[in-house]
């Protein structure tokens, strides 16, 4: 194999902030030009140039970086060229795993131009490892410094966060300070007063919903804030647990409570909750919305209402049933020894929900009837012959789509190669800048067209493969439950994704069922 090189360049936000305008790393183009010139001088053929703009060296989700690894694994080139090892990665773990592990196994040479990192030179492995360790320390120190600064700000009572708590807004004249948002604060005071007067959380939510008051998430969106809530099933609705969270939040009496979540290490992207005793609490940092008398009355009532949670056996329909109108998970209730499922948002003043309702015994009966009907129909001989024909047609379609995808991939790779050669021709003065721009645009347009066609074919192939998998596994699944006469939790988990339930508009007979849509897994 001739020397074929994959060039990798990266620019991060930290590079953009450097004061030295002549620093090569400030520009992706400068990196590319330097690396192309070096590769050409070595007589290496350039396979592709991979660029990640505005990505940190510790980010493992860099798109071009991961594409380079995929191409390296597929032996598209035998050299990886970067400005330095830190441009490739700052993590020592990845240095060992990829540069000293995977690349060695795949027969790929790694070259870092600025720091003389070259895996072909076995004598400088220790220096590469030391550089990797230094880069690892850099990431760890950077993370620790940021945490230290944020913790210091929190201990000083400065608000750290993209959005202020509902009822407050960020002070435009003082960074880290909160001021009262009069419109939202009025709602907060009303919630506390209603609860102190004896009205429960669910009824408070219903009162606010009846008056069309948007919940905190919707309120922020209406104020033009780019805020994404965790549950948008009912849009603007208040829920009882939102009211509960508000009633226990000390921020409303002027105390800053922060540090409820933390990232264990800089490598961990998911926050974890912190125990309450480790929260950072600073008193009197901002104007309170709730006075201490009202706060104490609310906390006393909350303490009186508190009771241990019931922990029992999980019902067979738990988390499996949804309201057909609003999408909420149905709640279970009992009356005179019978159990029912109903939509909880009906009691919260949701005017757009009819309120799904059904007796559990009727739902179980409906599921068993449909399951037995599906099994009976599936194992009919005529249906089996038809299924065999469908399977054959699916396989033919899959073969055709794979061929189309492979052809388009080849065309895209050829066009990418042409672009790389075009860049080299421009760098060497063979073509003019205007010619380069014109040809480059034409090639990119063609690549985009092929990629769109390829994406369509891939989507078709995935659909066919899913259908094929469903057909092949369906027989085995249904055979196992051929003679089932009663539902249990295992059957629900194995066969059913979820169930949509509606409400009977008019009952002709006592046992008339509401609309039911079962979403099977097979």
Dump pLDDT digits (tens) for 273-297.
777 788 889 999 999 999 999 999 9
Name the one residue in this structure whose structure tokens are 């046992």.
511
Question: Quick one: the chain helix, strand, coil %, rounded to 5?
Answer: 50, 15, 35
Question: Of how many residues is the chain composed?
Answer: 522
pLDDT number for residue 230 = 45
Find the distance separating the first CA and the last CA of the chain, reported in whole Å: 48
Non-local (6+) Cβ contacts of 429 within 8 A are: none
Contacts 24+ apart (CB under 8 A), 347-351: 347/202, 347/206, 348/202, 348/205, 348/206, 348/209, 348/234, 348/237, 348/238, 348/239, 348/240, 349/205, 349/206, 349/207, 349/208, 349/209, 349/210, 349/237, 350/209, 350/234, 350/237, 350/326
C-alpha–C-alpha distance, residues 35 and 316, integer Å: 62
Q: Residue written as tokens 């603007």?
A: 236
- Angle ∠(473,479,482) on CA atoms, nearest 5: 140
Cβ(501)–Cβ(322) below 8 Å: yes
Q: Which residues contact 402 (CB under 8 A, 6 or more apart)?
A: 461
Which of 120, 126, 76, 119 has its CA nearest to residue 98? Answer: 119
Q: What is the pLDDT of residue 517?
A: 92
Residues with Cβ within 8 Å of 127's Cβ and at least 6 positions away in sequence, in order, are: 116, 117
d(CA 103, CA 111): 11
Taking alpha carbons only, the member of 42, 142, 39 closest to residue 82 is: 39
CB proximity list for 471: less than 8 A, separation 6 or greater: 387, 390, 391, 394
CA count, 13 A, side-chain hemisphere, 290: 29
Stretches in the chain below the pLDDT threshold 70: 1, 12-27, 57-58, 92, 122-147, 226-235, 263-271, 305-314, 346-352, 378-392, 467-480, 507-511, 522
Cα 203–Cα 205–Cα 207 angle in degrees, nearest 5: 70
pLDDT of residue 6: 93
Cα–chain-centroid distance for residue 215?
A: 24
pLDDT attached to residue 181: 95
Q: How many CA atoms lie within 13 A of 37 on its CB side?
A: 10
> If you ran DSSP here, which 8-state letter would residue 328 be given?
P
Q: How far apart are CA 7 and CA 413, in angstroms?
A: 16
> How far, in whole angstroms, is CA 336 from its chain's centroid?
44
Rg (CA), the chain: 31
Distances in Å between the Cα of 168 and the Cα atoms of 162, 183, 220, 279, 295 are 13, 9, 11, 20, 17
The per-residue pLDDT for 306 is: 59
Tens-place pLDDT, residues 100-125: 888 888 999 998 887 778 888 765 55
Asked whether 521 and 498 are in contact (CB, 8 A), the reply is no
Beta strand 109-112 pairing with 168-170:
unpaired
């Amino acid at each position: 194999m001739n020397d074929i090189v994959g060039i990798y360049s990266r620019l991060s936000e930290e590079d953009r902030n450097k004061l030295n305008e002549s620093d090569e790393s400030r520009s992706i183009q400068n990196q590319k030009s330097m690396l192309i010139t070096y590769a050409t001088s070595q007589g290496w053929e350039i396979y592709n140039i991979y660029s990640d703009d505005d990505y940190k060296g510790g980010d493992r989700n860099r798109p071009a970086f991961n594409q380079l690894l995929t191409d390296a694994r597929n032996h598209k080139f035998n050299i990886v060229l970067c400005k330095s090892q830190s441009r490739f990665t700052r993590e020592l773990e990845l240095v060992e795993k990829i540069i000293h592990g995977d690349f060695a196994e795949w027969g790929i040479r790694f070259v870092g131009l600025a720091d003389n990192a070259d895996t072909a030179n076995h004598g400088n492995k220790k220096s590469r490892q030391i550089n990797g360790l230094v880069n690892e320390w850099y990431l760890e120190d950077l993370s620790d410094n940021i945490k230290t600064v944020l913790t210091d700000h929190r201990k000083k009572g400065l608000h750290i966060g993209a959005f202020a708590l509902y009822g407050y807004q960020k002070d435009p004249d003082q960074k880290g300070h909160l001021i009262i948002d009069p419109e939202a604060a009025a709602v907060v005071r009303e919630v506390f007063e209603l609860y102190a007067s004896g009205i429960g959380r669910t009824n408070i939510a219903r009162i606010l919903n009846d008056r069309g008051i948007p919940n905190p998430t919707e309120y922020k969106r209406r104020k033009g804030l780019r805020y994404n809530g965790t549950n948008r099933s009912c849009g603007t609705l208040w829920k009882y647990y939102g009211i509960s969270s508000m009633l226990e939040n000390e921020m409303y009496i002027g105390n800053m409570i922060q540090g409820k979540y933390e990232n264990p290490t800089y490598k961990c992207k998911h926050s974890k909750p912190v125990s309450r005793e480790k929260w950072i609490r600073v008193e009197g940092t901002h104007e309170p919305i709730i006075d201490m008398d009202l706060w104490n009355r609310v906390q006393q009532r909350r303490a009186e209402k508190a009771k241990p949670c019931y922990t029992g056996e999980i019902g067979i329909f738990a988390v499996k049933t949804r309201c057909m109108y609003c999408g909420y998970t149905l709640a279970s209730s009992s009356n005179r020894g019978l159990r029912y499922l109903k939509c909880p948002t009906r009691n919260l003043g949701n005017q757009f929900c009819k309120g799904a309702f059904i007796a559990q015994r009727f739902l179980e009966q409906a599921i068993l009837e449909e399951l037995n009907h599906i099994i009976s129909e599936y194992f009919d001989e005529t249906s089996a012959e038809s299924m065999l024909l469908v399977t054959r047609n699916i396989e033919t379609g899959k073969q055709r789509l794979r061929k189309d995808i492979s052809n388009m991939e080849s065309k895209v790779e050829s066009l990418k190669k042409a672009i790389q050669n075009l860049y080299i021709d421009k760098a060497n003065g063979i073509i003019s800048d205007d010619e380069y721009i014109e040809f480059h645009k034409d090639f990119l347009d063609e690549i985009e067209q092929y990629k769109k066609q390829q994406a369509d074919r891939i989507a078709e192939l995935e659909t066919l493969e899913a259908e094929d998998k469903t057909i092949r596994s369906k027989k085995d699944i249904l055979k196992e439950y051929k003679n089932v006469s009663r539902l249990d939790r295992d059957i629900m988990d194995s066969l059913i994704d979820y169930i949509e339930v509606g409400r009977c508009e008019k009952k002709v007979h006592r046992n008339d069922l509401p609309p039911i849509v079962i979403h099977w897994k097979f």
